[in-house]
Structure 1
Amino acid sequence: MDKFSKEIRSKIMRAIKSKDTKEEVLLAKALWNSGLRYRKNNRSVYGTPDITFKKYKIAIFVDGEFFHGYDWEVAKKKIQTNREFWITKIERNIARDKNVNNYLISNGWKVIRFWSKFIKKNLNDCILVIKKEIDETKKLKQISCPKN
């Protein structure tokens, strides 16, 4: 049973943004403040990652728990209203996320996905993960392209 009326729940769901969510902005600002420069919602990269470091071929996605199916087998059972619509939609999102990951990885990209809740609770850990990937990519480029 939903604790909100149909009208209120509908209003809440309509207000959820697809980009520039609080967690995306939080992560982006923390990256910027740590000296890292990136592009947001870069449509030239397949899947339109939330944050990209094109130079290093790193794509970062911030996934909302509801729309991207966090703990899906448990969460699926909790959907009370419009089940057919939501289950189909979320399973389609999960499949799309996998396809985007596979495509980017097969084209030499490193894909990092964070759950929104994880960013809220562990922002510094997220920054460290991203910095580590950038550092590893820099090292690989130096090894593969030695300067004369």
Structure 2
Amino acid sequence: MLANRSKNTQPELAVRKILHAGGLRYRVNMRPIPLLRRTADVVFTRARVAVFIDGCFWHSCPEHSSRPKSNSDYWGPKLRGNVERDRQTDRALESAGWLVLRFWEHESEVEVAEAIALAVRAQHSSSLDASGVKD
């Protein structure tokens, strides 16, 4: 399991490259809430958007997940725990005012980057509207 990357995976790098080329700036592998031990893959601090690009195996993708046949007593609870932790993370971030975006590693990086850019710009403009300041 040491060879499995937890950050800077190919899907993350591809999405980040598109976002950066589109003029968006972000933080990488950051805790949106410092006291919460959860690290988002891409974080837009001003817009309060946390992006997770989940691996199909580790987060039990409905399309591509597979259940290991060997050592299933270990893997079953492990994978279910990952999914439950994802939901807890979503709830904690949303209750703190963050927009949580989750994507699967198999999704088109162009479509993922477009969805992220739209959400960040919408969040940014709504925060400006709320403060009474316009660009």
TM-score w.r.t. structure 1 length? 0.81
| Aligned equivalent of 1:145, options 112, 125, 131 | 131
- Please give the residue correspondences for 1:125-144 in structure 2 after superposition, counting only pairs within 5 Å: 125-144=111-130
- Among 110, 129, 135, the alignment partner of 2:99 is 110
Gap regions ≥5 residues in structure 1: 1-12
Q: What is the 5 A alignment of 1:46-125?
A: 46=36, 47-71=38-62, 75-76=66-67, 79-118=68-107, 122-125=108-111
CA RMSD of aligned residues (A): 1.8
Task: Provide the C-alpha distance between the structure 1 equivalents of 2:103 and 2:21, rounded to a whole number of angstroms.
Answer: 19
- Aligned 1:23-38 pairs, distance under 5 A: 23-38=11-26
- Give TM-score scaled by structure 2 length: 0.88
Instruction: Return structure 1 stretches of 4+ with deviation > 2 angstroms.
Output: 43-46
**Aligned residue pairs, count:** 130
Aligned residues with identical type, % of pairs: 30
Describe the shift of the 1:17–1:145 C-alpha distance in structure 2 as closer, same or farther (beyond 3 A): same
Q: Is the 8 A contact 2:19 2:25 kept in 1?
A: yes
Query: Structure 2 stretches of 5 or more lacking a match?
Result: none
Alpha-carbon shift at residue 108 of structure 1 (Å): 0.6
Structure 2 counterpart of 1:137, one-letter code: Q
Whole-Å separation in 2 of the counterparts to 1:36 and 1:139: 14
- Cα shift at 1:138: 2.1
- Contact 2:60/2:66 (<8 A) preserved: yes
Larger strand proportion of the pair: 2
> Relative to structure 1, is the Cα distance of residues 44 and 84 closer, same or farther in structure 2, using a 3 angstrom cutoff?
same
The structure with more helix, counted as a fraction of residues? 1
SS in 2 for 1:41: strand
Q: Return the alpha-carbon distance in structure 1 between the equivalents of residues 133 and 41 of structure 2.
A: 33
Q: What pairs up with 1:8-47 in 2 under 5 angstroms?
A: 13-43=1-31, 45=33, 46=36, 47=38
